[in-house]
A and B are shown apart, each in its own frame.
Chain A
């Protein structure tokens, strides 16, 4: 992606965030939870973008396995890093939301938070794996496989905790799953769009950074080696046939 396009996306993202914030502030207070429910406008998009990011990592990995395209690997890795960022945000905002509503930071019956937390650690592991492998091809290969395993796990984790909650009748105060109020929904959608632009900006820049780092590493590796035959110089005939 060219630098100019990235800058455009950047500016759009900032604008969108500002818009999202405005609509969040203007949205009416929710019935049971009052203003607290407004944390949802940053919590839900964070979680969705995390999920999207890891989906991109999956696809990038598969594309690399098929085509061996370095770009695919870079996108996969960058998306994973941004995904961890959004997952962290989702967890923190989830806890911030939960505290006034449930009285605790963590609700053990919440399938979504549990899945998000597991996802967080799985992809931290993904990033740790990448850091442990210096060779680019091995790194891409193994990351791709881990990316597949990791993404397949997500529905399994989610389902298992949902089953757990269904059988144990989770906490009494249930978060509103789908906001009925259309103004609420509108604010949510705008913020979702804004967060998506942020994701695109971050992943785009991160991918570009990865390319720069790869290029630099290649350049430095090559310069370490002398060009073969550089010890041999052309014969200096000028001195031999010069003035005697």
Chain B
């Protein structure tokens, strides 16, 4: 259980960082689109 659990913990952290990046990216793109249109 030991190693897998730790890997799980790290994946959660990095996974959420990626998700937040995508969130920021998506919202910025939406704004830029509205600005042009």
Contact = CB atoms under 8 A, between A and B. Distances in A.
Nearest to A215: B35
B14 to A, nearest CB: 7
Given A198-B17, A212-B32, A100 B12 contact: no
Interface residues of A, number: 30
Given A85-B20, A89-B16, A92-B12, A36 B31 contact: no
Nearest to A10: B21
Interface in B5-35: 5-6, 8-10, 12-14, 16-17, 20-21, 24, 27-28, 31-32, 34-35
B13 A36 contact: no
A181 interface: no
Contacts, number: 61
In the complex, the 6 A-B pairs of residues with the closest C-beta atoms, listed nearest first: A96-B9, A39-B9, A42-B13, A212-B31, A35-B2, A205-B24
Interface of A: 17, 21, 24, 34-36, 38-39, 42-43, 46, 85, 88-89, 92-93, 96-97, 99-100, 198, 202, 205-206, 208-209, 212-213, 216, 219
Nearest to B3: A35
17 contacts: A21-B10, A21-B14, A34-B2, A35-B3, A42-B10, A43-B9, A89-B13, A96-B12, A99-B5, A100-B1, A100-B5, A202-B20, A205-B24, A208-B28, A209-B27, A212-B31, A216-B31
B7 to A, nearest CB: 10
Contacts of B3: 35
Given A36-B2, A100-B1, A212 B28 contact: yes
Interface-centre pick from B9, B10, B27, B34 (highest chain A CB count, 10 A): B9
Nearest to B19: A85
A139 B20 CA distance: 24
Contacts of A36: 2, 5-6
B28 to A, nearest CB: 5
Contact of B5 (A92, A96, A212): A96
Contacts of A89: 12-13, 16
Nearest to A208: B28
Q: Select the residue from B14, B24, B34 with max chain A CB neighbours within 10 A.
A: B24
A39 B2 CA distance: 11
B9 A42 contact: yes
Contacts of B16: 85, 88-89
